[in-house]
Every structure is written in structure tokens, then in C-alpha cells.
Amino acid sequence: MQSVPYNNPGNIRNVNQQWIGQTGQQNGFCVFQTMELGYRALFINLNSYINSGFTTIQSIINKWTPVSENRPGIPQIYAKALGIDVNFDIRKMDFWEFAVPFAKEMTFIENSIIQDIEEIWTVADNIEDLEVNEIIGGDPQERNGIYYSIFTVIVFAILYRVFFHKSSRIFRLFKYKFL
């Protein structure tokens, strides 16, 4: 994997957040120990934007890049590389199917370095720490299992309240008829 300045493929600015693997800052940008940690921060930042309502390439680029640095036509370059419209709602895509090509394009636009997409996929596949998986949402099967468990608990709580709680009309009828 080719190195980019400060191991920061997304040109993430140094603000009030300390990223895992951040070793400092240079000229206002975060410096990371490795490219992998720089991509990790890029993916977390991207997911944070999406979860905050920036759901199109147009809105993400406008948020990511200050207006003073945002060159005309940049969102269209991203959209063309991803094969979608600049105003397409990216929540309709799998996060990683969007994030990896986006990161490849960002590495080129921000740093003039063409990164092999397979190497970026390898980085994405190797992101295993829980913090990232919690932010990104983890495995869809796992999320569905959690939702099913929550749904089951809610249903049983409602059923208990309706049929067995002492103040329930059904409980009182049952008590007087059968007990």
C-alpha cells in the first residue's frame, strides 16, 4: 500500500478528537501511525457523517471539505467513480460497498495517489476492534438477532400486562371464574 502524507488518506483535520493510532498533527491534519489506522479513521468519519444525515455524495463532500477548498465538480467525480448520482441516498447501499470505493477515490483526489482497491478492501476486512463494528453497526445478521430479541421482550411484556397483571381486566375475570 502506497503511503500518503501523514498516513491520512482522508486528509482528516486535527480537531477535538483523538483517533486510535493518531501520533500528532501536522499543518492542521491528523498524523497516523499506519495507513490502516488512517483508513480506519476515514471509515469511522464517513459513517458518522451518514448517521448524522449527510446521506448523499454531495452532502458528504460539502461537510468533509471546507467550502474554501471545495473545488467545483468534485462530488461529480466521486459519483462517477461509484456509478451513482451525486444525490443518490447512499443508505440504500451496503456501507462497505460505498465506503471502500469512496475511500479509494478520496485517496486519489486528496493525495494524488492511486491506491489498489483490493488493498483498501483488505484494510476494511481487517478492521476488527469492537469500537469500529459498533459504530458501523456490526454484522447485519447480528443486528437482526438483537432486534428480534428486543421485539420478543416487548411482546412478552405487553402480553404479561394484558393477561396476568393484577390490574388487568382479563386477570380479574380469570381469577373469579376459575380460581
Grid cell of 3 as nine digits? 503511503
For residue 159, name the pLDDT band (cuts at 50, 70, 90). Answer: low
Q: At residue 99, does pLDDT exceed 80?
A: yes
Q: At residue 171, does pLDDT exceed 60?
A: no
The larger pLDDT score, comparing residue 133 to residue 10, is at 10
Q: At residue 23, does pLDDT exceed 70?
A: yes
Q: pTM value?
A: 0.69
Cβ contact 21:28 at 8 Å: no
Amino acid letter at 150? I
For residue 172, name the pLDDT band (cuts at 50, 70, 90). Answer: low
Grid cell of 120 as nine digits? 483498501
Give the span between the Cα atoms of 112 and 115, in whole angstroms: 9
Q: List, in sequence order, every residue forming a beta bridge with 22; answer none if it has no partner.
A: 32
Give the span between the Cα atoms of 8 and 110, in whole angstroms: 10
Amino acid letter at 60? I
Rg (CA), the chain: 24
The larger pLDDT score, comparing residue 38 to residue 122, is at 38
Q: Convert the pLDDT of each residue in 63-91 to its tens digit.
A: 888 777 767 788 999 999 899 999 999 99
Task: Say how far residue 15 (Cα) sits from the centre of its chain.
Answer: 19
Q: Locate cell 482528516: which residue? A: 12
Enumerate the domain spans of the chain. Answer: 5-138, 141-178
Task: Say how far residue 84 (Cα) sits from the centre of its chain.
Answer: 19
The larger pLDDT score, comparing residue 6 to residue 166, is at 6
